[in-house]
Each structure stands twice: as structure tokens, then as C-alpha cells.
Amino acid sequence: MEELKNIIAKASENDTVEVKKFLFGSIEYTTLKCTDSEQSVMAFVEQVNRWDNERPDLPHPATICVYPCFADVVNQTLEVEGVEIACVSGAFPSSQTFPEIKIAETALAIKDGATEIDMVMPVGKFLAGDEEGVMDEIREMKACCGDGVALKVILETGCLKTAENIRKTSFLAMNAGADYIKTSTGKEKVSATPEAAYVMCQCIKEYYEKEGRMVGFKPAGGINSSMDAIIYYTIVKEVLGEQWLNNKMFRLGTSRLAEILISEIG
């Protein structure tokens, strides 16, 4: 991927305070731990409230992302206008349960205040050749969300192994109604990579040129430094263009990055 190498080489040009502030505003501030509790999630949300009060020079994070059972806690604790409430739903992170359970979990999350849903594509079905079954599940989840709740489809690119599989699943998800495509759960050995991001952004561009519908992009998992985030920003900028450089179309699934960016912004 010579073009990707050239794009990554340009990333240093975007290593600026302005870009870092933009990236802070694109963060999906995420806690998905087995130790999460109502109390810990409440404290997590209060951090977003404090940033809004203490750092008026910064945009607010785009989203707070939690398990579905904590949607109401976020809804009751969050004081910052414009921050979305995202829930991972549908047997996250494996996607291995009955479709009826996935729909019920999603409906409950939305009832409790979720404004965005992150689902994991049924990777096993795809690898077994059941592409129609994959699309059916995504369509059902999107129908549950309706027009008012955005659906992000996690491809789990580290399990897909090849660029061709990433390409196929990107189009399957978008054709089935995904509002965003997302790289990873962060729970597998391989999470987001520039190579996967590059393929996915190319697919988003092709889909937009054919269908006229903009689909968002979310890398997640393994974003451990500001330069990691700047590389993804640069891929989006070079492949998709300025239209995608806002916190509606470009998201970063992370929590540790927020404090890193604040320390570097100063």
C-alpha cells in the first residue's frame, strides 16, 4: 500500500494544537470494563462535566460509550449539551446470541436514553459464507434504532484477516443501513490498524460516490497516543476529504487518549 505509506508520511503535518483540539472533540469517551458499576460510570460521566466547566477552550467529547445497562446512569448524570450517549449492544463483544436478544437489548438501551448504538457484525456468519444472514441482522438492528438513533457496525477487522474481507464487510454493513462503520471492539488481539482504516475509508468514499449517502468512520481499540489518532485523522482527510472532518462523521473510540491530548494541548 504505497499510497497509505505516503499518507502516513504526511501525518506529522497535522501534529498541531488545532488538530488535537479537534480530535478531543471526536472522542467517544469509553468505559467497557467488567468492573463497571453505577458508581464508576457516574464518576466517569462527571469527568466530562468537569472538562466542560474547567476547559472552555476545548470542545466536548462527541460521545460517552458504555454498556446498555448504564445508559440511564449516563442520561441522568450528563450535564453537557450535545454529547451523545452510545451503547454497545447485541451481545458485545462476541455478537454470539439470539437475534431476538440483540433487538431486546438494543430497545432497552434506547428506552433508557441511548442516542447511538454500536453493534458487532456477526463475524462468524460472515466467515462461514452467510453474507445475507449478516445483512439481515444489521437491517434488524437498524430498524430497531429507527432514523433517530445512529447505528455503528463494528467489523472486528483483526478477525477478518484480509483486506478483501474488510472491503466486503464494509459494503455489507453500509448496504444494510449502517450509519458508521467501526474497526474493532478493542477486545481482540488485533484492534484498529491504519491498513484497515485505509480500506474502510476507500469503501466509504466509493459508497458515497455511488449512493450519495455519507457514512461515518470510527477507529477503535489500540489508540494509545496522539500520533495514532493523527494518523487516522490524516487517512480520513486524504481519502474522504474535509466533509468527513467533523465530530459527526469521524469518531475515535478511546478513553486514555483524552488525558493525553489535554496534557499535550496544555
**From the candidates 112, 118, 179, 228, which is the catalytic residue?**
118
Q: Which residues have a Cβ under 8 Å from the Cβ of 88 and sit 6 or more positions away?
A: 32, 65, 66, 67, 68, 118, 119, 120, 185
- What is the per-residue pLDDT across 132-159, written as a single tens digit (0 to 9) for each? 999 999 999 999 999 999 999 999 999 9
- Based on the residue annotation, tell me whether 218 is a catalytic residue of this protein: yes
- Based on the residue annotation, tell me whether 237 is a catalytic residue of this protein: no
pLDDT under 70 in the chain at which residues?
Answer: none
The reported pLDDT for the residue numbered 189 is 84
**From the candidates 142, 152, 182, 237, which is the catalytic residue?**
182
- What is the per-residue pLDDT across 80-92, written as a single tens digit (0 to 9) for each? 999 999 999 999 9
CA distance 257 to 183: 17
- Based on the residue annotation, tell me whether 182 is a catalytic residue of this protein: yes
The reported pLDDT for the residue numbered 1 is 77
**From the candidates 20, 142, 152, 218, which is the catalytic residue?**
218
> Is the separation of the CB atoms in 258 and 223 below 8 Å?
no
